[in-house]
Amino acid sequence: MGAVADEASLIARIAAGDAVALRVLFARHHVRIYRFIRRLVRDAAVAEELTNEVFLEIWRHAKSFAGTASALTWMLSIAHHRAISSLRKRREESWDDGAACALPDAADNPEVAAQKRDAGAILRRCLDALSPEHKGVVDLVYYHEMSISEAAAVLQIPENTVKTRLFHARKRLSELLRQAGIDRGWP
């Protein structure tokens, strides 16, 4: 509760034009925001740019922070919106998810072939190959450890949709793993 109140007071200071408060908020959260965006847009430079845009938006619209959700939830919501808008603009981005989890082939050097055989590495590649929609919910729940209601607030969808979306993301993960030669027995 203290941390939530502290963050709300930081945002109130930002709304009053306190640039130091913005620096503090940036220092606390920019890595999380950057990683969330970068996972979605898959480009470090674009992710940096969008991260700055998120904090610029916070600077401009801090007064609109209602305080009903945590500051992080609010920030990730802005980040998600920015990342998805950017992806829509870059329509050339296509999700060739099968290729990302491919089995080793004869052309691979020994290091790549070993990585492809490592179950953890395969799972990571498949996680990276999920669609932005699936990746977003997976990251919010597993990395940012958000509750159902928090994830719903970030994604701006109903709570039941959050549950269903993660369920389908996990099923898709199983499919990708199966294509990569790993059957994990579910679904």
Partner 1 sequence: MTEDSEREEIEKLLPWYVTGKLGLSDTSKVERFLAQHPDALSQLQLIGTEQQETMRVNEAMGWPSSDTRDRLMASLPRSATPSRGRFARFGQFFRMRPALGPQWAALAMALLVLAQAAFIAVLLTRAPTYRLAAGAHEDGAAALIAFADDARAADIARFLADFEATIVDGPKPGGVYKIKLRNLDKSQLDDTLLSKLAEHRDIVRIVLPSRD
Nearer to partner 1 among residue 32 and residue 91 (C-beta): 32
| The token pair that represents 97 in the structure block | 């998810």
Please name the residue that has the structure tokens 């959050």.
162
Nearer to partner 1 among residue 1 and residue 186 (C-beta): 186
CA 87 to chain CA mean position, Å: 13
112-118 LR contacts (CB < 8 Å, sep 24+): 116/180
156 forms part of the interface with partner 1 (CB under 8 A): no
| Residue selected from 147, 156, 158, 178 as contacting partner 1 according to rule CB under 8 A | 147
Min dist CB 187 to partner 1, Å, is 8
Query: Is residue 109 within 8 Å of 63, Cβ to Cβ?
Result: no
Residues that contact partner 1, how many (by CB under 8 A): 47
CA 55 to chain CA mean position, Å: 16
112 forms part of the interface with partner 1 (CB under 8 A): no
Residue 72 makes CB contacts below 8 A (sequence gap 6+) with: 7, 29, 32, 144
Min dist CB 128 to partner 1, Å, is 6
Name the E strands within the chain: none
The type of residue at 17 is: G
Where on the chain is the footprint of partner 1 (CB under 8 A)? 16-20, 22-23, 26-27, 30-31, 34-35, 38-39, 44, 47-48, 51-52, 55-56, 59-60, 120, 123-124, 127-128, 138-139, 141-143, 145-148, 163-164, 166-167, 170, 173, 184-186
